[in-house]
Homo-oligomer: A and B are copies of this chain.
Amino acid sequence: MHAVTYELIKTDEKTKARRGRLHTPHGTIETPVFMPVGTAATVKAMRPEEVKELGASIILSNTYHLYLRPGHELVREAGGLHKFMNWDRAILTDSGGFQVFSLGDLRKISEEGVAFRSHIDGSKHFFTPEKSIEVQNALGSDIIMAFDECAPYPAERDYIKRSLERTTRWLARCKEAHKNTENQSLFGIMQGGMYQDLRYQSAMEIVDLDLPGYAIGGLSVGEPKEVMYEVMDYCVDYLPQNKPRYLMGVGSPDCLFEGVERGIDMFDCVLPTRIARNGMALTSGGRVTIKNAQYERDFSPLDAECDCYTCRNYSRAYLRHLFKSNEILSSMLLTNHNLHFLVKTMERIRTAIEEDRFGEYKKSFFEKYGRF
């Protein structure tokens, strides 16, 4: 029995969209789900109670960052990540692979693993599949991710093939290294770039390891959205029906709808929290750049259709004032709204799937929101 199990409740009649449930040691997650990102053991600018209040049931935290600061052993001594950061719902940690590979000149890949230098102090480190799992075991997150290579776009077919095969070998090593299967579940990650046969190869290899969940990696890395949607489409078909499917690093409203429509169950993205700190809001009428002069004397809420704390209590004029004054409350209120917006949108998506009207809901959503 895995620590994390997936229960498929219902599939939409007209699309591949599906309604499910993820059972974890820290609660049940209704899927499809959006996971707010809490990189350094905090969802930026939010108290954990506020994240719970807006309905988030699982957050993502970053292994690379926590390994470097404050260090996974310290988090273990603190009683694990949940206790350290005061979050008693589920946590998924990534493997650190994505961040390490993003370091560019600061890292070097071999079969054994990746040598890299810290972006904080330049210190030398070596990450392997075993090390990533050791760190994630120390953190104690409910879902831990395989250490993979997220290949760049565009990339030669040869490179992608060699990379995905190494990712499979690394996955086997991750599975072997995972010491806490009772409380934590390891998800595998499919790679293969934009090549259909390589995606198929990757899927077959990782599904063979019978893990409790699978992610689609290597998307949203610079390719056109149409390409991403096409790849997503066949990737999902290669994955088992009875396991959750997680599309990594994707979270704009259009990608969420397109992903759900293709059978994705889990999403994460820094977008809602990052753009909030830059003064941008996701609203039912599309994106709002709060510093714009048109909001100077706009005493209406950020989103008239929203019932979040921010929209219940503050005007656009006030939010604009806070942003222009570099006030921390600006980040707090906009982050709260943006996360609320995505979490509630996913809630409505789930209801729409239950009621076999996902397509209609998608259409009505974008009639107001527009495309970005």
A77-B47 contact, Cβ under 8 Å, with A70-B317, A332-B328: no
- How far does the Cβ of A237 sit from chain B's closest Cβ, in whole Å? 41
A47 touching B85 by the CB < 8 A rule? Answer: no
A322 touching B42 by the CB < 8 A rule? Answer: yes
Inter-chain CA distance A78–B318, complex, in Å, is: 9
A271 at the interface (CB under 8 A from B): no
A318 touching B41 by the CB < 8 A rule? Answer: yes
Q: Which residue in B45, B79, B84, B324 is a CB contact (below 8 Å) of A328?
A: B45
B86 touching A332 by the CB < 8 A rule? Answer: no
A77: chain B residues within 8 A (beta carbon): 297, 299
- How far does the Cβ of A43 sit from chain B's closest Cβ, in whole Å? 8
- How far does the Cβ of A344 sit from chain B's closest Cβ, in whole Å? 20
> Could you list 20 further interchain pairs (A-B, Cβ under 8 angstroms) beyond the known A40-B325, A69-B325, A86-B314?
A41-B321, A41-B322, A42-B329, A45-B332, A46-B329, A47-B309, A65-B325, A69-B324, A70-B321, A74-B297, A77-B297, A77-B299, A78-B315, A78-B317, A78-B318, A79-B299, A84-B317, A85-B318, A328-B328, A332-B332
24 CB-based A-B contacts, threshold 8 Å: A40-B322, A40-B327, A41-B321, A42-B322, A44-B327, A45-B332, A46-B329, A47-B309, A47-B329, A65-B325, A70-B296, A70-B321, A74-B317, A74-B321, A77-B299, A78-B299, A78-B315, A78-B317, A84-B315, A84-B318, A86-B313, A86-B318, A328-B331, A328-B332
